[in-house]
């Protein structure tokens, strides 16, 4: 298992990016729940963030792609507006233990490349 961060490192309503084995992931905390996705837009395969650790729209209610402004639900990764409407971000399985967020290195290794 690879430790990404302590769960308290991500504030409520915020996001955080990670590089793991040359793959890019990001987590969002909403309603005290964490969601982890591959940092890869299903439309063009580009990274999503506007700036470092900035994956959310201005209201912090949706994930927003910096390339075309596509909007995704935080809870499911489903695109609700934009050129990839109906597609989903790739959710990454993770576990929490002793307050840390961890991923299986095999799950990360199987991801494509940006």
Separation CA 30–CA 35 (nearest Å): 8
Task: Say how many domains are in the chain.
Answer: 1
Domain housing 61 = 2-109
Sorting pLDDT into bands at 50, 70 and 90, what band is 8? very high
Flag whether pLDDT at 102 surpasses 90.
yes
On whether the pTM is more than 0.85, the answer is: yes
- What is the rounded average pLDDT of the residues 100-107? 92
The pLDDT score that the predictor gives to residue 21 is: 86
Asked if residue 114 is part of any domain, the answer here is: no
As a whole number, the mean pLDDT across the chain is 92
Within 8 A by CB and 6+ apart from 68, the residues are: 41, 43, 44, 82, 83
Give the pLDDT score at 47: 85
Average pLDDT over residues 60-84: 94
Is residue 49, in this structure, part of any structural domain at all?
yes
Burial class (CB in 10 A: 0-12, 13-18, 19+), 31: exposed
Q: Is residue 56 part of a domain?
A: yes
């Amino acid at each position: 298992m690879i430790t990404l961060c302590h769960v308290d490192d991500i504030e409520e309503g915020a996001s955080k990016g990670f590089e793991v084995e040359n793959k890019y992931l990001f987590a969002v905390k909403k309603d005290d729940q964490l969601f982890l996705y591959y940092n890869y837009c299903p439309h063009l395969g580009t990274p999503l963030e506007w700036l470092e650790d900035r994956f959310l729209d201005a209201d912090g209610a949706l994930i927003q792609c910096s390339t075309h402004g596509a909007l995704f639900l935080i809870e499911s990764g489903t695109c609700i507006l934009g050129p990839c409407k109906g597609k989903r971000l790739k959710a990454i399985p993770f576990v929490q233990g002793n307050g840390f967020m961890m991923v299986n290195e095999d799950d990360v290794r199987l991801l494509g490349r940006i």
